[in-house]
Structure 1
Amino acid sequence: MIIDAWAQHPTLRHLQDPIFDSLRRWTKMPTPQSGLPVSTTVALMDAGNVDLSLISAWEAPGKSMISNDEVAQFVHQAPDRLIGVGSVDISRPMAAVREIQRCVNELGFKAIRVLPWLWEVPPTDRRFYPVYTACAELGIPFCTQIGHTGPLMPSEVGRPIYLDQVALDFPELNIVAGHIGYPWTEEAIAVATKHENVYIDTSAYTTNRYPAALVDFMRHHGRSKVLFGTNYPMITADKALEGLDALALDEETKKLFLAGNAQRIFDLP
């Protein structure tokens, strides 16, 4: 079984947003002119043997790039393959709390994701704390990004060490930090090792780009701490998993990485 811990079924607004121009430049991908049907996302999951994808909303200052209701519609079209992850506007704390409650209690979402670089503040900013409280009370993970940013936005807010303070303040909260944390991967490993409920997902990286320190962590004391992710549509599952065998993971570790850790952390069937 394979579970993709970080994916998007993008809206055209998301695909065309100029914030991603830098990614399009180095990947040589043209700006899309039409949206993707859900069937295309499912077909690409099939091509990579992915059983379930956690697809995320994107809330940014002043705009909704992929709304929670749109994510719910996508999940409705493929309920046995897609799982919703919500997002909120952290500039309106009480509205954010109510929206998290709606995401979980009405839309059936399994997590909330907020990206610090979109807001240009670290995850220790006071505006995040109502979000953490709501997630902890509802028993769902908080998902975020660590490491440098591909888009032309400040990377400093993605330093994994900021999550050390968050985990100290919210020891009950499961925190899933995506994108490996490069170039601060060892910092991410240190935080995940220190805190029982801090995890790393490998989204936005193919297996041949995993830092050696992360692979060593997965093989040893971090086998329960790392989740597979793609950041689809940036990377498709088949591409992300090329060279998996070269990591030389034992069978138990491979099962935990590809599905078991996500099943446990996100409370999936």
Structure 2
Amino acid sequence: MPVIDAWIQHPTPRHSDHEMFDSLRRWTGREPLTDPLPVAATVAALDAADVQIGLTTAWYGPQGPLISNDEVAEFVAQSDGRLRGVAGADLTRPVQAVRELRRAVTELGFVALRLLPWLWELPPTDRRYYPLYAACVDLGVPFCTQVGHTGPLRPSETGRPIPYIDQVALDFPELTIVCGHLGYPWTTEMIAVADKHANVYIDTSAYTARRYPAEFVDYLRGRGRRKVLFGSNYPMIMPVKALEHLDDLGLDDEARELFLAGNARRVFAL
């Protein structure tokens, strides 16, 4: 069955080797990336898990881009159609950020915007996000973000689904919001917000199938089958590793197809 991975990043050394990822390297045993990684290596990692398309993201933070939109566009160009771009933006310059998002979507062909609140230490309800939310609605692309605690060494508070994602969805009911990383340890809150708002979704990036909380597996099997997208968070977790225990989840054929590809294809208009 073909797979779409809703959250990967083709890393640059300045992204992969940043000090805030020391904790992740400790957990995963990954070595620093001293030289640029060939795009072919990322495509090979997708192939190993039957991933047809990986949504590869730019990373923008207060000190500048760790992976720029133009770098992502170059990775996409080298991928033979296997990667799609997800834009980043500088929250401290809202007008320029909106212009950059428009360029990424209309000129570079990107399919979404992703901002990481913990990287900025600004919750998603901060006024600096709001021009970008309006631009996403206008451009017809989803806003992607991270919920739950942070593995990197930054505060986790900005990842709470309630009140932050709930309030943004109330303020922008037309905005499609894709919340990565399950929301753990606030998974029940995340499920409640996805139930409440028609345009709020969850992706499973940063978690292997065997680590999904029990209430999340129940949601994925049942009423949440149209609300959950597969994501790996490659290269932190290889897609094949993220899916290793997929069969243990007890998904029927419809839930499995929606989770692995159907929901992402619909949400990102792929």
TM-score range, shorter chain: over 0.9
Unpaired stretches in structure 1, ≥5 consecutive residues: none
- Pairwise CA RMSD: 0.7
1:51 alignment partner, SS class: strand
1:230 alignment partner, SS class: coil
Q: Deviations over 1:180-228 (max 9, x none)?
A: 0000000000000000000000000000000011110111110000000
Partner of 1:217 in structure 2?
A: 219
1:243 and 1:113 mapped to 2: Cα distance? Answer: 28
Amino acid aligned to 2:88: S
Partner of 2:34 in structure 1?
A: 33
1:95 alignment partner, SS class: helix
Q: Deviations over 1:151-174 (max 9, x none)?
A: 110000000111000000100010
Decide which of 254, 263, 266 is 2:265's aligned counterpart: 263
Unpaired stretches in structure 2, ≥5 consecutive residues: none
Amino acid aligned to 1:30: E
Amino acid aligned to 2:219: F
CA contact (8 A) 2:28 2:236 kept: no
Partner of 1:67 in structure 2?
A: 68
In the alignment, structure 1 residue 57 sits paired with structure 2 residue 51 = no
In the alignment, structure 1 residue 159 sits paired with structure 2 residue 160 = yes
Following TM superposition, the consecutive aligned residue runs of length 4 or more in structure 1 with deviations greater than 4 angstroms are none
2:113 alignment partner, SS class: strand
1:191 and 1:28 mapped to 2: Cα distance? Answer: 34
2:29 and 2:236 mapped to 1: Cα distance? Answer: 12
Count the aligned residue pairs: 268
Amino acid aligned to 1:16: D
Alignment of 1:61-210 (within 5 A): 61-161=62-162, 162-210=164-212
TM-score by length of 1: 0.98
2:30 and 2:45 mapped to 1: Cα distance? Answer: 17
1:170 and 1:79 mapped to 2: Cα distance? Answer: 35
- Shift, 1:242, TM fit: 0.6
Give aligned-pair identity as a percent: 65
TM-score by length of 2: 0.98
2:116 and 2:183 mapped to 1: Cα distance? Answer: 13
Amino acid aligned to 1:167: A
